[in-house]
Amino acid sequence: MTETIGVLQTRLPDHEGLLLCLDFDGTLAPIVDDPEEATITPTNAELVERLRGAPGIKLAVVSGRGLEDVRDRVDVSDVTYAGNYGIETDHGDGDIEVHPEAEAAEPVVEEVRTRLEDELADEDGVAVEDKRWTTTVHFRRAPDRAEAVTERVEAVVDEHGDDQLVTASGRAIVEIKPDVETNKGEVVDAFAAAADGYLPMYVGDDVGDRSAFEAIASAGGVSVYVGDEDIGATATVESPEEVAALLRWLADDGVSYIGGNDSDRPQ
């Protein structure tokens, strides 16, 4: 975390604000076997609330979860939320915008989801999650079945996806989503373009965050990976607890570095 703070101390004085984009699972909330039981840590909830109103901070939560799901789990208003890898967005006013091509593909997604529920009913430890515009198959509780489950999912999508859907693998999951040009990187690009003069920053933990890290690199921002893999991030932290420590530094001290105004900076 010291590395991340050092980078921010150097970069923030040259910007009028910080665009802080946060993943949910594995970042604000610990990874758990049952995704329905994922909960933001109390400390991270408190700090997201503090940062929401901090001067010079624009805050966004960017998740693969459905938007209403992640918004309910974070439970902080007046924050920008992007769900389903950017298929749906709430810019803090409570109204949800849905990618029109994804909206058009909803009947096909529903058909494939229903068939997957039937196809995978015999797989112990495997769950099919309905995210309306997308579907996620979870096999964290059945790691030995990962390859077989993935093959079964791909077969169903190939047969019934009507050439409108694609699959993508993540950490103990397979995502089934409309074949549209949207991912976390596209989301970060759009948010950064709307926050001119702000330093873009992204914190995430999964392969689904790679596109966001690439977008941050292209924008000259700061990316933080939660874990110990080398996936091209600016810096790393070890856990959601270390994410909390980073957010606390931002709330307590980091805002004083924004724009080169050091009047409130700790000495």
Distance of CA 28 to the CA centre of its chain: 10
Residue listed under structure tokens 């093959």: 151
Cβ atoms of residues 8 and 202 within 8 Å = no
Cβ atoms of residues 246 and 4 within 8 Å = yes
Domains and CATH numbers, the chain: 2-99+182-260 (3.40.50.1000), 101-178 (3.30.70.1020)
Whether the full predicted model's pTM is greater than 0.85, yes or no, is yes
Tens digit of each residue's pLDDT (9 = 90 or more) over 72-102: 999 999 999 999 999 999 999 999 999 999 9
Cβ atoms of residues 220 and 5 within 8 Å = no
Tens digit of each residue's pLDDT (9 = 90 or more) over 94-141: 999 999 999 999 999 999 999 999 999 999 999 999 999 999 999 999
Give the Cα separation of 8 and 100 in Å (integer): 37
Residues 145-149: contacts with CB under 8 Å, at least 24 apart: 146/172, 149/120, 149/123, 149/174
Residue 76 CB-density burial (10 A; 0-12 exposed, 13-18 middle, 19+ buried):
middle
Catalytic residue numbers read: 23
What pLDDT is recorded for position 170? 87
Give the Cα separation of 236 and 179 in Å (integer): 31
Q: Place 228 in a pLDDT band, splitting at 50, 70 and 90.
A: confident
Give the type of residue at 97. E
Cβ atoms of residues 106 and 97 within 8 Å = no
Mean pLDDT throughout 172-192? Answer: 95
Residue listed under structure tokens 């909330």: 29
Tens digit of each residue's pLDDT (9 = 90 or more) over 196-223: 999 999 999 988 899 999 999 999 999 9
Tens digit of each residue's pLDDT (9 = 90 or more) over 6-64: 999 999 999 999 999 999 999 999 999 899 999 999 999 999 999 998 999 999 999 99
Cβ atoms of residues 222 and 199 within 8 Å = yes
End-to-end CA separation in angstroms for the chain = 20
Pairing of strands 127-130, 135-138: antiparallel
Q: Which DSSP letter does residue 25 get? A: B
What pLDDT is recorded for position 2? 86
CA dihedral 61, 219, 6, 231 (to 10 degrees): 70
Helix residue ranges, H only, the chain: 2-11, 42-52, 67-74, 100-104, 106-119, 146-160, 184-193, 210-218, 240-252
Altogether, the residues listed in the chain come to a count of 267
Cβ atoms of residues 198 and 219 within 8 Å = no
